[in-house]
Amino acid sequence: MNRLWVRLSLMISGVLFFMFFLQFLSISLDGNRIDDDFSSPTNAPPKEIQGRLIEFMLLSLVVGTIGGVVIARVVSNPISNLSRAAQHIGKGELDIRVHEKGSQEIVELAQAFNKMAEDLQRSQTARRNLVADVSHELRTPLTVLEGNLRAVLDHVYTLDETEVANLYEQTRHLIRLVNDLREISLAESGQMTLEKTPTDLYTLIVDAMQALEPLSAEKQIQMSIESAPPLEGSVDSIRIRQVLFNLLGNAIRHTPQNGRITIKAGKNDAGIHISVQDSGSGLTQEEVASVFDRFYRADRSRSRETGGAGLGLSIVKAIVEAHGGSVHAESKGKGFGSTFSFLIPS
């Protein structure tokens, strides 16, 4: 009785039966006041009419029940499918989808369910990839530390200054990795603390360019800025400086010898817009869609030492979005360079 199709079928057959019962009751009451004169051949006896109504009521009850069951099954079937699909989702089978057909309400419900299942599947995949990537990034430095320390304990070699420096670099990498992950986690959970103050972002851009000039000079990369100062905005200057360092460092790392990097900045009604354009290796459309993901490296041949841990652009995205802004990457393809930009409300 608790099934929807059962209730609908009973309601439909009950309504039909009740309608004809009212007609039967009305004719029966009128029949008591009719004279017994049946001389007219067109007038049927009240009892005959009542008998026919009873037969029709029974027929309507049968037809109403059958029709009600059919209609109820058609109406409730999409909901039953959603219920079964939800049970599969609860068991962890996140690839389940339902057919989007039926009335507008049912289609909208199915679309919402499929969107939820797709988001859950994407989140689960991202979570699994994160765990795999973190374990991969931690495994190498920890293995180096363990091997070197074991070698020292086994007196394979003495712990000289060179080995101490090597172990120190591995611990620094672990600390950077943990700190970067913490920054991203705080931003995504909305707990990143921002100390916003009126800041000229043009000054921050110039400072970042000067700090990274030795790296660009080593590869003979020309860096220039196109802007109309000042670029006043209320931002956390320390974190925005980190965003600029990450974007410029990423551009330098992927720009070949004698390349060029151009920083463009401006301010409009939407806020402050800053872009970093390089003449580097460029990105495919698939890489553009994933370049801000954690631990993503467009060049898979790069190691941790040459290409970083793949968290720089993820941190950029986290910090900018914590400011209420947005990030964007674009490229015409391999060999055409890339442009990374962000917009922060002023």
Q: Are 329 and 249 in contact (CB under 8 A)?
A: no
Res 143 pLDDT > 50: yes
Res 300 pLDDT > 60: no
Q: Does residue 180 form part of some domain?
A: yes
Q: Does residue 78 form part of some domain?
A: yes
The CA distances from residue 287 to 133, 291, 293, in Å, are 17, 6, 10
247 burial via Cβ count (<10 Å: 0-12, 13-18, 19+): buried
Name residue 233's beta-bridge partners.
Answer: 199
pLDDT of residue 277: 93
Same domain, 179 and 265: no
Name residue 30's beta-bridge partners.
Answer: none
Lookup: tokens for 253:
């790392």
Per the model's pLDDT, the better-predicted residue between 2 and 140 turns out to be 140
Average pLDDT score over residue span 12-17:
68
Res 32 pLDDT > 80: no
Strands 338-344 and 271-278: antiparallel
pLDDT of residue 123: 74
Same domain, 156 and 231: no
CB atoms within 10 A of CB 164: 11
Res 39 pLDDT > 50: no
Same domain, 212 and 338: yes
Q: Does residue 154 form part of some domain?
A: yes
Domain end call among 167, 188, 209: 188
Strands 260-268 and 222-227: parallel
| pLDDT bucket at 222, cuts 50 / 70 / 90 | very high
Same domain, 149 and 204: no
DSSP characters over 212-257? THHHHHHTT-EEEEEE-S--EEEE-HHHHHHHHHHHHHHHHHHS-T
Average pLDDT score over residue span 186-197:
77
pLDDT of residue 122: 76
Per the model's pLDDT, the better-predicted residue between 68 and 212 turns out to be 212
Same domain, 174 and 301: no
Res 116 pLDDT > 60: yes
Q: Helix, strand or coil for residue 157? A: coil
Percent of the chain residues past pLDDT 90, beyond the cut: 16
Contacts of 257 (CB under 8 A, 6+ apart): 219, 220, 221
Average pLDDT score over residue span 296-300:
57
In this structure, is the dihedral angle defined by the CA atoms of residues 65, 70, 72 and 73, taken in order, positive or negative? positive
pLDDT of residue 38: 44
CA atoms within 13 A on the CB side of 69: 6
pLDDT of residue 24: 62
| pLDDT bucket at 306, cuts 50 / 70 / 90 | very low
Q: Are 320 and 304 in contact (CB under 8 A)?
A: no
Same domain, 228 and 309: yes
Q: Does residue 307 form part of some domain?
A: yes
Number of folded domains that form the chain: 3
Res 199 pLDDT > 50: yes
pLDDT of residue 304: 46
The CA distances from residue 323 to 135, 195, 208, in Å, are 30, 10, 19
Q: Does residue 100 form part of some domain?
A: no
Q: Does residue 43 form part of some domain?
A: yes
| Least-confidence region, from 63-72, 149-158, 206-215 | 63-72
Same domain, 201 and 322: yes
Res 329 pLDDT > 80: yes
pLDDT of residue 328: 92
Closest to 341 measured CA to CA, from 284, 262, 283, 286:
262
Lookup: tokens for 126:
């991202």
pLDDT of residue 106: 74
Lookup: tokens for 218:
């080593």
Same domain, 324 and 223: yes
Same domain, 23 and 82: yes
Contacts of 323 (CB under 8 A, 6+ apart): 194, 196, 235, 236, 239, 240, 344, 345
Q: Does residue 38 form part of some domain?
A: yes
CA distance 148 to 154: 10
User: 33 lies in which domain range?
Assistant: 4-93
| Least-confidence region, from 64-68, 140-144, 288-292 | 64-68
Average pLDDT score over residue span 82-92:
82
Same domain, 230 and 172: no
pLDDT of residue 301: 45
| Least-confidence region, from 121-125, 243-247, 265-269 | 121-125
- H or E element: which one contains 169? helix 161-188
Same domain, 184 and 210: no
